[in-house]
Amino acid sequence: MSAALVDSAQISFLLDLVILALSALAFSLVFARLKLTIVAGQILAGVVVGPYVLGLVKDPLVLNEVSEIGVVLLFFIIGLELDPAELQKLASKITSLTALEIAISFAFGLLASYFLGFDLLEALIFSMAASITSTAIVGRIFLAKRVLNRSESGFLIGLLVVEDMIAVGFLIVLSALTSSNVGSFPYFEVGSTSSTIGIFAGLEAVASGLALILLGYGVARYVAPRVINYLSYYEEEFEEIPFLFALGLGFLFAVIAGLLGYSPGIGAFIIGLSIRGKHSRFLEQRITPIKDLFLVLFFVSIGCLINPLPAFSIGWVILVAFALLIIGKFLGGFAVGKVLQTLERNSLVGEALPSPKLFGAWLIPRGEFSLVIGQLGLTLGLVSQGFFSLIGVSVLVATIAASILQRGLEPKIAKSDYPFRSRADDA
């Protein structure tokens, strides 16, 4: 009897995988034909086959856990491809420009909340969710277009990592707004609205972040190179051995980051960024082949979590709110691009900077952290299910809108996104 139940569960899981894979394929082909980012198609596929629309996949939670592996691998690879020296030179400007961009996006989130009739607490939570760009979506687009080695791409990824840090701060604030729930971090419990708790939580988050960075530097400087040099002797005969080390290293720092209260992807990014030169290329070549499988599951499972029906019951005003969210992020990115274009011309020698409009289009997609903020608000009883639905639909709409804008502002399309085209677009 138990074996039959196990077999039934396995078949159900595999059937869910088949449905998600085929729906992702179908929507990816449609979006590719429309010259739009296929990530948006994969999210939309999850919405359609998920439990709230067609109901073909009723339990995406297990798949969501599996798919998070893809985000960790993505952050790890992005870290390996970026040059930490370039990011270090831009660090001060990245922080200040991120603050500027977040402030603009947050202000437009508050304006959208006014049109939606939210109270102050709901407006703050909605604006927090609306302020964070999806590093997973933007990173996936940059990898597909093979532009991570360009200076502006590194700057934007650095900006998005700082945004993720700010999102951690938002989660601390949300946890401190309730007097009867436990916060999302493992080392403190929110049992009072006292500001002292928020201060200690903030200090803990800063100290944890610094410890994670120092640990990553130490491992990358003194441990990883020696292990990689040793394992390279086994590369030709036993390819699995270097692969297992690369996989284990990325996930180890993902776990450490999670224990410290940060996104697991941040830990993978930090250790990837800390490893340089031939050692980073060695690890990247081992991880890249398996990344796409888990990333597709991640984006489709995000779609499965989105219930569009309550959001659309709001009426026409939702169109105004979504327009404001898109405009806010676009203007924030435009401001970043404009300042960067003015201040960094001499330091980005040999590479033509993209237009500020393109910077704005790149920053529009929302994703994983927007949903995490909305989910925490829902768990703490601060918002309703319909409110979370609105955040989910805004993620989908923003991703599609960003794809359309990028198509208009960036006419050259990477071959890898559209495999059925015989040649690249003309310049």
pLDDT digits over 357-415, tens only? 888 888 898 877 788 788 778 877 888 888 888 888 898 899 889 888 888 776 554 45
The CATH number assigned to the domain holding 266 equals 1.20.1530.20
Q: Is the pLDDT of residue 79 over 70?
A: yes
Long-range contacts of 293-297 (CB under 8 A, 24+ apart): 293/70, 294/66, 294/67, 294/68, 294/69, 294/70, 294/71, 294/73, 295/67, 295/70, 295/71, 295/73, 295/74, 295/136, 295/140, 296/21, 296/24, 296/42, 296/70, 297/20, 297/63, 297/66, 297/67, 297/70
- Count the domains in the chain: 1
Whether 125 is in a domain gets the answer yes
What does the pLDDT read at residue 180?
Answer: 39
Q: Is the pLDDT of residue 161 over 70?
A: yes
| Closest residue by Cα to residue 157 from 148, 146, 169 | 148
**Contact of 98 with 157, CB cutoff 8 Å:** no
What does the pLDDT read at residue 342?
Answer: 76
Tell me which range, 125-139, 167-181, 194-208, is most confidently predicted by mean pLDDT: 125-139
Whether 373 is in a domain gets the answer yes
Q: Residue 418 — very low, low, confident or very high, per pLDDT cuts 50/70/90? A: very low
Q: Residue 106 — very low, low, confident or very high, per pLDDT cuts 50/70/90? A: very high
Tell me which range, 107-121, 172-186, 288-302, is most confidently predicted by mean pLDDT: 107-121
Q: What range defines the domain where residue 318 resides?
A: 2-417
Whether 324 is in a domain gets the answer yes
CA 27-30-32 angle, 5° bins: 105
71: which residues sit within 8 A by CB, 6+ positions away? 136, 264, 265, 294, 295, 298, 368
Tell me which range, 57-61, 121-125, 368-372, is most confidently predicted by mean pLDDT: 121-125
Whether 214 is in a domain gets the answer yes
Q: Is the pLDDT of residue 76 over 60?
A: yes
pLDDT tens for each residue of 3-37: 555 567 677 778 888 888 899 999 999 988 888 88
Whether 424 is in a domain gets the answer no
Q: Residue 186 — very low, low, confident or very high, per pLDDT cuts 50/70/90? A: very low
- Give the range among 61-75, 181-195, 258-272, 347-361 with minimum mean pLDDT: 181-195
Q: What is the pTM of this model?
A: 0.73
Whether 266 is in a domain gets the answer yes
**Contact of 144 with 126, CB cutoff 8 Å:** no
Average pLDDT over residues 93-104: 87
Whether 379 is in a domain gets the answer yes
Angle of helix 2-33 versus helix 61-81 axis, rounded to 10: 50
What does the pLDDT read at residue 376?
Answer: 77
CA separation for the pair 217, 207 (Å, rounded): 15
* First-last CA distance in the chain: 63
pLDDT tens for each residue of 204-219: 767 777 888 888 888 8
Average pLDDT over residues 270-297: 76
What does the pLDDT read at residue 179?
Answer: 41
Q: Is the pLDDT of residue 237 over 80?
A: no
Q: Residue 104 — very low, low, confident or very high, per pLDDT cuts 50/70/90? A: very high
Whether 425 is in a domain gets the answer no
Amino acid identity at 418: Y
Query: Higher model confidence: residue 91 or residue 411?
Result: 91
Average pLDDT, the chain: 77
Q: Is the pLDDT of residue 347 over 60?
A: no
What does the pLDDT read at residue 325?
Answer: 93
